[in-house]
C-alpha cells in the first residue's frame, strides 16, 4: 500500500521548520536534545524556540520508536504559537494518525485523522486535505471496507479538482487512482482496476519516481492475473523488474522476479518458476536481505517437484525470517507445508508438531481478524454518523438560506416576519438538539475505541504468555525425561556388566535428572499461578536459619558430587515477616543456580544481616559469573535466558523471574552483582520482624 507520494506545500514549509538546520542543534546527540527538552518542560518554558529540537527528535524516532514520535507531536501541539495554529494542529494530528496506522493502532489512527479532518475543513489546503482523505481510505481498506475506502479516494480526487495542475497535484491524483485500483482488485473487478492503474501511470509527472512507477506496473500485473491473462501479467512484472535492472541487487527487481516465478508456478512450469525464484533469491542476497515470502513459495515449489529435503530447508529458513519480521500469515503457511511434507515422509511426530503450531497461529490470526472486525464495525458506525452529520449540515445551510429570505420579508411584512422568526427558532432548537445527540454518540464511540485498544493489549499479552509456556514445555520438559529413560534403559540392559561404581554413577544421574525435573515442574506451576493471579502472599514470622536448615539437605548431594563447599552465616535471632512458601522458592532457586554455575571445588556462601527495618540476604558463589549484557533483563519474563551449567545442567530461565515476583510481593527487592569468571552475588531484602 502506498503512502502519500508528496508532501503538500504548506506541510513542507512546517517540515522545513522541523529540519533542525540550526547551529549547535542539528549536530547534538539525541541525549543532549532530550535533556534540553526535559529542562524546558520542568521549567514550564516550552515555546517556539524548541521547534527544531522537537523536529530533530521526531525524525530520529519516526521509524524506530513511533510511540516517542507521537509524544513529540503532542509536545508540538502544546506550544503557544499564534502563527497559523490550525495548520500546525492539522499537520500534527495527521502525522500522529500515520504513526498509529503504521504501528497497527487503527482506532487511534482514525481518531487523529478525524481531528485533522475537522481542522482541514476550516482552511484552504486542498492538497493536504486530499492526502488526508487517502490516508482515511487506507484505514478502511485495511479492515476490508473497500467500497468506503474508494469513496474516500474519490473524495481526494474531487478535492484536487480545485487545485491548479502541477507536479504535486498530479502526484496525488496518480496516488488516488492507484489506490482505487487496488480496492477494485480486492473486489474482484480487475477491468476497473486496470483503468485506474493506467490513469495513475498517465498522470505521473516527469521525471518519474521509479519506485512509484514500479508499484503501478506491479499492480497492473496482479490485475491481469485476476483476469486470467497470465502472459500480460508476466509482461507487466518484467517491465517492473526492468525499472531497477541497472541497480545491482535491487530488492524491487527481486520482488518482481518472485512474482514472475509465481505466475510460472500457477502454469505448473516448475523449471521456469525455479529459475526465477533462484534469480530473485540471488538479488535479495546481493542486497543484504532475505524474503520470507520468497522462501515460502520456493518451499512450496520444491514440495510440488517432490524434493522434500530442499522444501524443508527453504521452509525452515522462511520460519526463521518470518518470526524475525513478524510475518504471521507467511509463518502459518510455512507451518502447514512443513506438516504436510513431514507427514508424506512418514515423520509423523514432526508433522504433528508443525500442525499444532499452525493451528495455534491460525487461532491467533483469527482473534486478530475478530479485532479488525470490531474496528470495521466502529468505522461503519462512524461513517454513518458522518453521513448523518453531513445531512444535518445541509439542513443547517438550508435554514440559513431561509433566514435570509425571512429577513427580507420582515422589512415589508412585520407580522409575517415575526411568525417566520418563530418557525426558524423552533428549527434552530431542533438542530441544537440533534447536534447535542451527535456529540453524545461521539463520546460513546471514543469510549468504545478505548475499550477496543484495551482488549487488543490483553489479547497480545495472552498470546505472549501462551507462546512462552509452549516454548518452555516443548524445549525443557523433554530433556529430563530423555535422561531418565536413557540411563534407566542402560541400567536395565547392561546391569550385570556394570561395576558397582558405574551403577551408582548412572543412578546418581537419574536422581539428578529427577530433581531437575521436579524443580522445573515446580517453577512452571508457580509461574502459571502468577500469570493467572492466583498467588497472594500469606506473611508470617520466619527464622531464616531454620528455613535454610530445611532446604539445605536437598542440595547437599549435588554439592558433594561437585565438591562444592556450602557455608551458612545466618545469625539465629534474624527473623523476617514474609510468605514461607515464596521465600522457600526464592532461596531454592538461588541455591540451585549457584550450584549449577559453580565448578568443581568451588564455594557457595549464604549470609544475612539485619538493617534497621529490613534484612539483607546474600547468596555468593565462585562460579562462572554473568555477562553484563544479560544482567539488565535477568529478572524479567521477556529476558529469560536458558544457559547450561558447568556440568551441562539445564533450566527453564523462569527461576529468577519467579524470584523477583515473589520478593516484590513480599515488599522486598532483589539484585545481582557479577563479573564474568569471578562469581556472582545475589542480594535480596525482606521485611524484618
Q: Are 201 and 216 in contact (CB under 8 A)?
A: yes
On whether the CB atoms of residues 618 and 681 are closer than 8 A, the answer is: yes
Neighbours of 603 (CB within 10 A): 15
Residue 234 has pLDDT above 90, yes or no: yes
Distance in angstroms (rounded) separating the CA atoms of residues 296 and 281? 12
**So what's the pLDDT on residue 217?**
92
Average pLDDT in the chain: 81
Residue-wise pLDDT for 469-518, tens only, equals 565 555 556 656 776 787 788 888 888 888 888 888 878 778 777 876 77
Kindly indicate the confidence band of residue 250, based on its pLDDT and cuts at 50, 70 and 90.
confident
The β-bridge partners of 579 are: 539
Name the strand (E) or helix (H) holding 619: strand 614-621
Residue-wise pLDDT tens digits, 514-569: 876 776 677 677 666 666 666 678 899 999 999 998 888 878 878 888 899 999 99
The rounded distance, in Å, linking the Cα atoms of 279 and 264 is 14
Q: What is the pLDDT of residue 10?
A: 37
What is the spatial distance between Cα 604 and Cα 565, in angstroms, rounded to a whole number?
Answer: 6
In sequence order, the 6+-apart residues with CB closer than 8 A to the CB of 449 are 107, 108, 110, 111, 378
Question: 517 phi and psi, to 5 degrees?
Answer: -65, -40
Q: What's the pLDDT score for residue 229?
A: 92
Strand partners, 314: none
Q: Which three cell numbers stand for residue 218?
A: 506491479
Pair 652, 598: CB distance under 8 Å: no
Give the pLDDT band (50/70/90) at residue 193. Answer: very high
For 685, phi then psi, to 5°, come to -115, 145
Which pLDDT score, from 0 to 100, does residue 29 have?
Answer: 64
Among 308, 357, 298, 352, smallest CA distance to 332 is for: 357
Q: In what order do the strands lie in the sheet with 680-687?
A: 565-569, 603-611, 614-621, 680-687, 670-674
Position 324 scores a pLDDT of 85
Q: Within the chain, how many helices (H) and strands (E) appear?
A: 25, 7
Amino acid at each position: 500500500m502506498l503512502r502519500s507520494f508528496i508532501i503538500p506545500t504548506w506541510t513542507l514549509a512546517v517540515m522545513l521548520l522541523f529540519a533542525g538546520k540550526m547551529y549547535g542543534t542539528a549536530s547534538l546527540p539525541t541525549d543532549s536534545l532530550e535533556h534540553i527538552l526535559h529542562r524546558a518542560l520542568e521549567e514550564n518554558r516550552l515555546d517556539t524556540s524548541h521547534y527544531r529540537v522537537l523536529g530533530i527528535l521526531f525524525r530520529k524516532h519516526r521509524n524506530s520508536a513511533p510511540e516517542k514520535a507521537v509524544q513529540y507531536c503532542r509536545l508540538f501541539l502544546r506550544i503557544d504559537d499564534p502563527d497559523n495554529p490550525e495548520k500546525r494542529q492539522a499537520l500534527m494530528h495527521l502525522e500522529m494518525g500515520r504513526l498509529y496506522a503504521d504501528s497497527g493502532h487503527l482506532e487511534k489512527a482514525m481518531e487523529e485523522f478525524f481531528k485533522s479532518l475537522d481542522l482541514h475543513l476550516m482552511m484552504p489546503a486542498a492538497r493536504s486535505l486530499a492526502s488526508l482523505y487517502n490516508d482515511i481510505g487506507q484505514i478502511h481498506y485495511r479492515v476490508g471496507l473497500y467500497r468506503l475506502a474508494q469513496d474516500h479516494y474519490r473524495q481526494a480526487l474531487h478535492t484536487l479538482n480545485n487545485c491548479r495542475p502541477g507536479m504535486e497535484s498530479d502526484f496525488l491524483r496518480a496516488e488516488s487512482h492507484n489506490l482505487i485500483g487496488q480496492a477494485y482488485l480486492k473486489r474482484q473487478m480487475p477491468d476497473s482496476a486496470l483503468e485506474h492503474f493506467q490513469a495513475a501511470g498517465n498522470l505521473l509527472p516527469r521525471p518519474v519516481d521509479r519506485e512509484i512507477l514500479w508499484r503501478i506496473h506491479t499492480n497492473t500485473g496482479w490485475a491481469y492475473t485476476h483476469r486470467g491473462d497470465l502472459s500480460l501479467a508476466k509482461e507487466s512484472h518484467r517491465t517492473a523488474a526492468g525499472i531497477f535492472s541497472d541497480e545491482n541487487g535491487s530488492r524491487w527487481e527481486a520482488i518482481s522476479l518472485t512474482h514472475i516465478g509465481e505466475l510460472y508456478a500457477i502454469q505448473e512450469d516448475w523449471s521456469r518458476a525455479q529459475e526465477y525464484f533462484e534469480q530473485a533469491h540471488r538479488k535479495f542476497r546481493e542486497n543484504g536481505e532475505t524474503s520470507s515470502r520468497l522462501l515460502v513459495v520456493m518451499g512450496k515449489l520444491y514440495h510440488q517437484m517432490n524434493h522434500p529435503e530442499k522444501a524443508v530447508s527453504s521452509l525452515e529458513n522462511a520460519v526463521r525470517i518470518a518470526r524475525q519480521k513478524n510475518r504471521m500469515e507467511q509463518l502459518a503457511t510455512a507451518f502447514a507445508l512443513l506438516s504436510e511434507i513431514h507427514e508424506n515422509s512418514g515423520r509423523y511426530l514432526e508433522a504433528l508438531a508443525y500442525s499444532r503450531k499452525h493451528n495455534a497461529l491460525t487461532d491467533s490470526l483469527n482473534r486478530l481478524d475478530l479485532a479488525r472486525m470490531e474496528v470495521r464495525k466502529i468505522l461503519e458506525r462512524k461513517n454513518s454518523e458522518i453521513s448523518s452529520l453531513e445531512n444535518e449540515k445541509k439542513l443547517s445551510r438550508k435554514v440559513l438560506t431561509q433566514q435570509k429570505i425571512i429577513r427580507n420579508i420582515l422589512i415589508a411584512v412585520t407580522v409575517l416576519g415575526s411568525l417566520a422568526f418563530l418557525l426558524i427558532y423552533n428549527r434552530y432548537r431542533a438542530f441544537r438538539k440533534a447536534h447535542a445527540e451527535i456529540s453524545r454518540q461521539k463520546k460513546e464511540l471514543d469510549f468504545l475505541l478505548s475499550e477496543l485498544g484495551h482488549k487488543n493489549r490483553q489479547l497480545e499479552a495472552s498470546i505472549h504468555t501462551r507462546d512462552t509456556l509452549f516454548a518452555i514445555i516443548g524445549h525443557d520438559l523433554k530433556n529430563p525425561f530423555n535422561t531418565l529413560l536413557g540411563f534407566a534403559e542402560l541400567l536395565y540392559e547392561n546391569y550385570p556388566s556394570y561395576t558397582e561404581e558405574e551403577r551408582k554413577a548412572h543412578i546418581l544421574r537419574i536422581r539428578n535428572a529427577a530433581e531437575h525435573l521436579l524443580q522445573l515442574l515446580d517453577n512452571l506451576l508457580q509461574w502459571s499461578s502468577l500469570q493467572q493471579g492466583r498467588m497472594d502472599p500469606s506473611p508470617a514470622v520466619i527464622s531464616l536459619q531454620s528455613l535454610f536448615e530445611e532446604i539445605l539437605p536437598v542440595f547437599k548431594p549435588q554439592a558433594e558430587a561437585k565438591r562444592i563447599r556450602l557455608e551458612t552465616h545466618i545469625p539465629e535471632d534474624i527473623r523476617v515477616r514474609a510468605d514461607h512458601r515464596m521465600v522457600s522458592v526464592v532461596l531454592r532457586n538461588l541455591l540451585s543456580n549457584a550450584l549449577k554455575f559453580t565448578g568443581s571445588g568451588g564455594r557457595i556462601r549464604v549470609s544475612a544481616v539485619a538493617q534497621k527495618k529490613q534484612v539483607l540476604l546474600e547468596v555468593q558463589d565462585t562460579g562462572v559469573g554473568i555477562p553484563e549484557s544479560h544482567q539488565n533483563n535477568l529478572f524479567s519474563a521477556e529476558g529469560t535466558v536458558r544457559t547450561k551449567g558447568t556440568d551441562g545442567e539445564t533450566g527453564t530461565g523462569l527461576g529468577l523471574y519467579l524470584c523477583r515476583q515473589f520478593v516484590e510481593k513480599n515488599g522486598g527487592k532483589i539484585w545481582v552483582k557479577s563479573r564474568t569468571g569471578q562469581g556472582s552475588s545475589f542480594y535480596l531484602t525482606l521485611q524484618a520482624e
